[in-house]
Amino acid sequence: MIIDTHILLSLVCFSFIIKTAHSSNSSSVSNSDSFVLACGVSSAANDANGLNWAPDSKFLSSSGNSITATAQSQDPSLPSAIPYMNARIFTSESTYQFSVLPKMRHWVRLHFYPSSYSNFDSSNDFFSVTAGRFTLLNNFSASITAEALTQAYIIKEFSLGPIQSGSLNLTFTPSSIHKGSYAFVNGIEIISMPEIFEPASMVGFSDQTIDAENYALQTMFRLNVGGQYIAANNDSGVSRTWYDDSPYLYGAAYGVTSEAERNVTIQYSSNVPRYIAPVNVYSTARTMGPNPKLNLNYNLTWVFQVDANFTYLLRLHFCEFQLWKDNQRVFDIFINNQTAQSSVDVIALAGSMGVPVYKDYAIYVSDENSDDDLWVALHPSASMKPEYYDAILNGLEIFKINDTSGNLAGPNPMPSPLLQKALSQQKARSFAPSQSNKLGIIIGAIAGGLAGFALVTAVIVFLNYRKCKTDGKKSSPAGWLSFYGRSRTTKSKITGKSSHLSTLGGGLCRHFSFVEMKLATDNFDESRVIGVGGFGKVYKGIIDGGTKVAIKRSNPSSEQGFHEFQTEIDLLSKLRHRHLVSLIGACEEEDEMILVYDYMANGTLREHLYDSQKPLSWKQRMEICIGAARGLHYLHTGAKNTIIHRDVKTTNILVDDKWVAKVSDFGLSRTGPSLNQTHVSTEVKGSFGYLDPEYFRMQQLTEKSDVYSFGVVLLEVLCGRPALNPRLPKEQINLADWALSCNRGGTLEEIIDPHVKGEINAECVNQFVETAMQCLSDQGINRPLMGTVLWNLEFALQLQDNPDGPKPVAEQKANDAYLMHTTLMSIEEEGEGTVEMDSSKAFFSQIVNPRALPGIIIVLYVSFNTILCLLRLY
Ligand SMILES: *[C@@H]1O[C@H](CO)[C@@H](O)[C@H](O)[C@H]1NC(C)=O
Ligand SMILES: *[C@@H]1O[C@H](CO)[C@@H](O)[C@H](O)[C@H]1NC(C)=O
Ligand SMILES: *[C@@H]1O[C@H](CO)[C@@H](O)[C@H](O)[C@H]1NC(C)=O
Ligand SMILES: *[C@@H]1O[C@H](CO)[C@@H](O)[C@H](O)[C@H]1NC(C)=O
Ligand SMILES: *[C@@H]1O[C@H](CO)[C@@H](O)[C@H](O)[C@H]1NC(C)=O
Ligand SMILES: *[C@@H]1O[C@H](CO)[C@@H](O)[C@H](O)[C@H]1NC(C)=O
Ligand SMILES: *[C@@H]1O[C@H](CO)[C@@H](O)[C@H](O)[C@H]1NC(C)=O
Ligand SMILES: *[C@@H]1O[C@H](CO)[C@@H](O)[C@H](O)[C@H]1NC(C)=O
Ligand SMILES: *[C@@H]1O[C@H](CO)[C@@H](O)[C@H](O)[C@H]1NC(C)=O
């Protein structure tokens, strides 16, 4: 099996190389003039991904005014020591000279890791970089940029048109305005690439096109819309990195993501060769959703923050893999509120299903009202009366085009107000450590050590405060936890026993002393116990003079506990998601192992299903299931490696004060199968009643085991009874078996929880039951992916809200339903009491009105990891 896949893969690659090499000279993916240089090193070395980085000195035309240096500390979020730990520092203008193929376009990637190098003050790094006649960076400060973007390192990617002279001069010049400024660089990549640019029409000026062929461009965003992160070494030969688009989605309308069925093959053509974008971009998409009424009411919108006074080239990638005929899905494209193209029909453009196409548009972004945003919006073309009122997008690239003076440089980004506040708090903290916090040291960095080989250019965290609400008194440290953990500024000095915490967590984990833990819990007073598990007891605690937390203290005698403790820190400290419980920190001292989490005011899902005075309404139940599904979907697909939870059950789904579901308890979780494996063999663990029978038989763990367990959770929610109830007659003890048999006999309706039976509409229950039954398929292969489960549940909820009747949908109501797609990124502001949370609708009241959206986070080229850790914090 495994070998087959390898052969197949290499065949695919091989034929691709042959094909491109033959098709035309300019499109061949040749690496004949590639330079991959680690600056300041004395000999070549490989990075963590096996890419070889050569020393840079022989390309310097005069090396007299540069010195080499090694960074004094290594941030844990660096993907690799090469090329970041070594730098070349320039105190006066210096030039690298490369001889390049004159007819080829080239990538120029510059890697910067701002750190303290010998006796240079890291805040004096102001410099410019030019490549031939183009200015790539000007008055650039890597340290300011990194701080504003909360990135340890920065990668800038440019693409230079053919250089006729065959000689590329890359010049670094320290700023003459700032005293004592210097320039530096850690890594330089210059790689020839096919000419991927062509004339693009200017939005709003139908007669004007802009021909980017001779221009220099800077990559601003490159998104695999509706899909996942694609590493540079997994790109289609052009070493680009593609990111998830969800951080850029605007407002409440999230659409739905989908993936091509296996039987649909992506067919490249001479118009769209494979190097334009990899298969993964075209085989995943975001569409508006199944409900035409909702779709007509909203625009599927992405917002990007860009530098003003530049022209941008936008490339929209399309590939239809669900529909096959003309006029099935026809939509309009708006860019900055202007119609870029109306009535786009991907099938009409491409000719058939599975054939990729792309469209390029150019637009000038001016500086009016300091609105330097780029809006991309899609809306169904109602006038064409298509079969489906829907829109689709598979990929999106945004490039900045050089201005008339050959400049590409923009200003340094400013930290967002919230970040500025967090930073100043952090500084205050490090200057005046509190007494109770004897160690007083916070470990880690924003991004855990997960990082893949990521192209990181920049992140802009752009927080758009709600205008009406400026009361920021109630700061929530947990929400901005990541900023406490910036090891770049707060160096970790962990002593003795705690030492491996720092390596374990990869960073994002605050360290607590045992004394603090005792204070927080009244010396582990029994009255504070809110839960007891295999690991030990869970206490309600108060830290930082008011923040409620849940404190899980292990039973010191438990050996197994230690392992689970490590797993939990290791995984959770790297994962941040609205639907995963957040780990705030840990304490490991004197044989104590204590984990500190966000406090979940409403306890476990189970408590609200049965044994409860006031069982949840059907809608609340569904919303919680959707939240939990989202959390699990993220575990399965959002991280670099699949993470299998292994213990999905109603007691591990917690609910916060706003009834937001959070998946918890990662003690048993496992990193899933890697590239050449289909499963992980392991000892069977989990909870009875939820255990996947296939996993039990084969002892092979896949993410489908979680899907099975989640199916049991869905039944528990529907039927309002535990997964196992030994007091019932034999055939009813196991809920999954019982429900499957009732479903076969057509009597499932009879076992629905009477508390909610009256509320559920028939279409919703059918969709819900069908989803649960699919999850419970005996064989993993027949079970849906968590993403599909999520989609089905959202659809079920829409059916509940809007059971397809002819009665018109009230605006507000309509919004509610598609808001389901938004929970992932909806951002809560720091203050808490602003939203009333007693009704299920209030759940989303913050985002019902897009104007009230408290924040948008915009990311330009973030390492994948940082997206996880930082942006999905919410
Ligand atoms: C490809 O390169 C070869 C040799 O450099 C040249 O003879 C040929 O004309 C080129 N073909 C095209 C299509 O440019
Ligand atoms: C590149 O720089 C070298 C020396 O600094 C200079 O001799 C050469 O003319 C430059 N080339 C171009 C194309 O500017
Ligand atoms: C490359 O893409 C394949 C196809 O989806 C994926 O399975 C694999 O994990 C990716 N590899 C890396 C290194 O990202
Ligand atoms: C692919 O398979 C699905 C069901 O598995 C089917 O509905 C669809 O028509 C197939 N598509 C093609 C292009 O064969
Ligand atoms: C853009 O250009 C206008 C007019 O030349 C100027 O006033 C403004 O400061 C520029 N904005 C930026 C961000 O450079
Ligand atoms: C586009 O329209 C939206 C909503 O009307 C507005 O908030 C936004 O500022 C506009 N964007 C641009 C670039 O004009
Ligand atoms: C979609 O965006 C366009 C352009 O900004 C705007 O004219 C239109 O009103 C929007 N439609 C909806 C439903 O928001
Ligand atoms: C980019 O630079 C080139 C060369 O300097 C110039 O010809 C071109 O007009 C510039 N592009 C724009 C959009 O001004
Ligand atoms: C250079 O950048 C710094 C920091 O962003 C800014 O304060 C300063 O005004 C800039 N200087 C110039 C000349 O643009």
- The span from the CA of 378 to the CA of 392, in Å, is 8
Q: Whose CA is nearest to atom 2 of ligand 1?
A: 25
pLDDT of residue 583: 80
pLDDT at 12 over 60: no
3-state SS assignment for residue 200: strand
In this structure, which amino acid lies at residue 725? N
pLDDT at 733 over 60: yes
- Lowest mean pLDDT segment, chosen from 24-38, 122-136, 551-565, 767-781: 24-38
Beta strands in 602-741 (DSSP E): 643-644, 653-655, 661-663, 670-671, 680-681, 700-701
Quick check: 52 and 46 in contact, CB under 8 A?
A: yes
The arithmetic mean of pLDDT across residues 273-284, rounded, is 94
Of residues 128 and 545, the one with the higher pLDDT is 128
> Would you state the structure tokens that stand for residue 750, as one six-digit string?
């009879």
**176 within domain boundaries:** yes
Phi first, then psi, for residue 374 (nearest 5°) are: -120, 120
602 alpha carbon to ligand 2 midpoint, in Å? 68
pLDDT at 209 over 70: yes
Whether residue 262 sits in one domain with residue 166 = no
Of residues 333 and 257, the one with the higher pLDDT is 333
641 lines ligand 1 (CB under 6 A): no
- The span from the CA of 314 to the CA of 364, in Å, is 11
Q: Could you give the percent of the chain with pLDDT greater than 70?
A: 72
pLDDT of residue 636: 85
> Would you state the structure tokens that stand for residue 767, as one six-digit string?
């969709």
pLDDT at 202 over 50: yes
DSSP 610: S
Whether residue 503 sits in one domain with residue 392 = no
- The span from the CA of 346 to the CA of 508, in Å, is 43
Q: Which of 265, 259, 255, 248 is nearest to 295 (CA)?
A: 255
Whether residue 333 sits in one domain with residue 203 = yes
Phi first, then psi, for residue 638 (nearest 5°) are: -85, -25
Proximal ligand: closest to the CA of 181: 9
* Ligand 6 pocket, Cβ-based, cut-off 6 angstroms: 336-337, 371, 373, 375
- The span from the CA of 278 to the CA of 836, in Å, is 45
> Would you state the structure tokens that stand for residue 271, as one six-digit string?
């118009």
The arithmetic mean of pLDDT across residues 16-33, rounded, is 39
The arithmetic mean of pLDDT across residues 223-248, rounded, is 87
139 alpha carbon to ligand 9 midpoint, in Å? 6
- From 599, 619, 636, the end of a domain falls on 599
- Lowest mean pLDDT segment, chosen from 82-86, 358-362, 570-574, 782-786: 570-574
pLDDT at 436 over 60: no
Go through 417-437 and write b for each residue having 16 or more CB atoms within 10 A of its CB, e for each that does not: ebbebbbeebeeeeeeeeebb
pLDDT of residue 791: 87
- The span from the CA of 126 to the CA of 177, in Å, is 9
Q: Which of 69-73, 626-630, 779-783 has the highest mean pLDDT?
A: 626-630
Whether residue 385 sits in one domain with residue 371 = yes
Per-residue pLDDT band for 558 (boundaries 50, 70, 90) equals low
Of residues 1 and 453, the one with the higher pLDDT is 1
Q: Whose CA is nearest to atom 2 of ligand 8?
A: 406
Of residues 568 and 683, the one with the higher pLDDT is 568
Whether residue 184 sits in one domain with residue 37 = yes
Q: Whose CA is nearest to atom 1 of ligand 2?
A: 169
| Ligand 4 pocket mutation, candidates 258, 262, 263, criterion most atoms within 8 A of CB | 263
Whether residue 695 sits in one domain with residue 625 = yes
* Ligand 4 pocket, Cβ-based, cut-off 6 angstroms: 261, 263-264
- Lowest mean pLDDT segment, chosen from 240-244, 446-450, 479-483, 546-550: 479-483
Quick check: 364 and 173 in contact, CB under 8 A?
A: no
Q: How far is CA 280 from CA 286, 399, 564, in A?
A: 13, 21, 35
Whether residue 654 sits in one domain with residue 581 = no
In this structure, which amino acid lies at residue 755? H
Quick check: 363 and 335 in contact, CB under 8 A?
A: yes
Quick check: 719 and 735 in contact, CB under 8 A?
A: yes
The arithmetic mean of pLDDT across residues 826-848, rounded, is 26
224 alpha carbon to ligand 8 midpoint, in Å? 29
The CATH number given to whatever domain includes residue 588 is: 3.30.200.20
Whether residue 166 sits in one domain with residue 220 = no
Q: Could you give the percent of the chain with pLDDT greater than 90?
A: 33
The arithmetic mean of pLDDT across residues 7-20, rounded, is 33
- The span from the CA of 192 to the CA of 213, in Å, is 14
- Lowest mean pLDDT segment, chosen from 191-195, 252-256, 371-375, 634-638: 252-256
Exposed, middle or buried, 147 (CB in 10 Å: 0-12/13-18/19+)? buried
- From 193, 227, 254, the end of a domain falls on 193
299 lines ligand 7 (CB under 6 A): yes
pLDDT of residue 647: 84
Catalytic sites, residue numbers: 647
The arithmetic mean of pLDDT across residues 454-464, rounded, is 26
- The span from the CA of 276 to the CA of 399, in Å, is 14
Q: Which of 439, 545, 437, 419 is nearest to 486 (CA)?
A: 419
Of residues 538 and 10, the one with the higher pLDDT is 538
**815 within domain boundaries:** no
| Ligand 5 pocket mutation, candidates 311, 364, 367, criterion most atoms within 8 A of CB | 367
pLDDT of residue 438: 28
The CATH number given to whatever domain includes residue 764 is: 1.10.510.10
**Does residue 619 have a known ligand-binding role?**
no
The arithmetic mean of pLDDT across residues 522-541, rounded, is 82
Q: Which of 210-214, 471-475, 713-717, 870-874 has the highest mean pLDDT?
A: 713-717
Q: Global pTM?
A: 0.58
Strand 547-554 with 243-244, pairing: unpaired
479-519 pLDDT, tens digit each: 222 222 222 222 222 222 222 222 223 345 678 888 888 88
pLDDT of residue 500: 27
Q: What is the largest CA-CA distance in the chain?
A: 87
pLDDT of residue 381: 94
317-353 pLDDT, tens digit each: 999 999 999 999 999 999 999 999 999 999 999 999 9
**241 within domain boundaries:** yes
Q: Looking at the CA of residue 261, tell me the nearest atom of ligand 4.
A: 1
Number of folded domains that form the chain:
4
| Ligand 1 pocket mutation, candidates 23, 24, 25, criterion most atoms within 8 A of CB | 25
**378 within domain boundaries:** yes
Q: Whose CA is nearest to atom 10 of ligand 8?
A: 404
Q: Looking at the CA of residue 296, tell me the nearest atom of ligand 7.
A: 13
**441 within domain boundaries:** no
169 lines ligand 2 (CB under 6 A): yes
Go through 574-600 and write b for each residue having 16 or more CB atoms within 10 A of its CB, e for each that does not: bbbbbbbbbbbbbbbbeeebbbbbbbb
pLDDT of residue 278: 95
Of residues 710 and 418, the one with the higher pLDDT is 710
The arithmetic mean of pLDDT across residues 637-649, rounded, is 79
The arithmetic mean of pLDDT across residues 394-422, rounded, is 84
**58 within domain boundaries:** yes
pLDDT of residue 479: 20
Q: Which of 63-67, 537-541, 638-642, 708-712 has the highest mean pLDDT?
A: 708-712
Q: Which of 264-278, 639-653, 794-808 has the highest mean pLDDT?
A: 264-278
215 lines ligand 8 (CB under 6 A): yes
- Lowest mean pLDDT segment, chosen from 58-62, 147-151, 233-237: 147-151
In the predicted model, what is the mean pLDDT of the chain?
74
The arithmetic mean of pLDDT across residues 365-379, rounded, is 84
412 lines ligand 9 (CB under 6 A): yes
3-state SS assignment for residue 223: strand
The arithmetic mean of pLDDT across residues 559-582, rounded, is 73
Q: How far is CA 71 from CA 425, 502, 537, 862, in A?
A: 26, 19, 43, 22
96 alpha carbon to ligand 2 midpoint, in Å? 9
675 lines ligand 3 (CB under 6 A): yes
313 alpha carbon to ligand 1 midpoint, in Å? 29
Quick check: 184 and 89 in contact, CB under 8 A?
A: yes
DSSP 346: H
pLDDT at 850 over 80: no
pLDDT of residue 538: 86
pLDDT of residue 473: 26
DSSP 827: -
CB-side neighbour CA atoms (13 Å) of 575:
34
pLDDT of residue 388: 92
- The span from the CA of 68 to the CA of 56, in Å, is 10
Q: Whose CA is nearest to atom 4 of ligand 9?
A: 412
Proximal ligand: closest to the CA of 27: 1
The CATH number given to whatever domain includes residue 206 is: 2.60.120.430
Distance of CA 513 to the CA centre of its chain: 32
Whether residue 183 sits in one domain with residue 47 = yes
pLDDT at 746 over 70: yes
Whether residue 184 sits in one domain with residue 273 = no
- The span from the CA of 414 to the CA of 307, in Å, is 12
Phi first, then psi, for residue 700 (nearest 5°) are: -120, 125
Q: Looking at the CA of residue 334, tell me the nearest atom of ligand 7.
A: 4
Q: Looking at the CA of residue 309, tell me the nearest atom of ligand 5.
A: 1
**287 within domain boundaries:** yes
DSSP H or E segment with residue 154: strand 154-160
- Residues of the domain holding 720: 603-784
The arithmetic mean of pLDDT across residues 654-661, rounded, is 91
**859 within domain boundaries:** no
| Beta-carbon contacts of residue 216 (< 8 Å; ≥ 6 apart) | 131, 134, 136, 158, 159, 160, 161, 401, 402, 406, 408
Per-residue pLDDT band for 428 (boundaries 50, 70, 90) equals low
- The span from the CA of 642 to the CA of 9, in Å, is 21
Whether residue 570 sits in one domain with residue 618 = no
Proximal ligand: closest to the CA of 25: 1
Q: Which residues pair with 375 in a beta bridge?
A: 303
Q: Looking at the CA of residue 366, tell me the nearest atom of ligand 5.
A: 1
Of residues 6 and 113, the one with the higher pLDDT is 113
Q: Which of 296, 254, 285, 256 is nearest to 353 (CA)?
A: 285
596-626 pLDDT, tens digit each: 888 888 888 988 887 777 888 999 999 999 9
Q: Helices 618-637 and 786-801 sit at what angle, rounded to 10 degrees?
A: 160
Whether residue 279 sits in one domain with residue 147 = no
- From 193, 225, 257, the end of a domain falls on 193
- Lowest mean pLDDT segment, chosen from 539-543, 595-599, 688-692: 688-692
64 alpha carbon to ligand 5 midpoint, in Å? 38
The arithmetic mean of pLDDT across residues 827-839, rounded, is 26
DSSP codes of every residue in 8-25: HHHHHHHHHHHHHHHH-G
pLDDT of residue 237: 82
566 lines ligand 9 (CB under 6 A): no
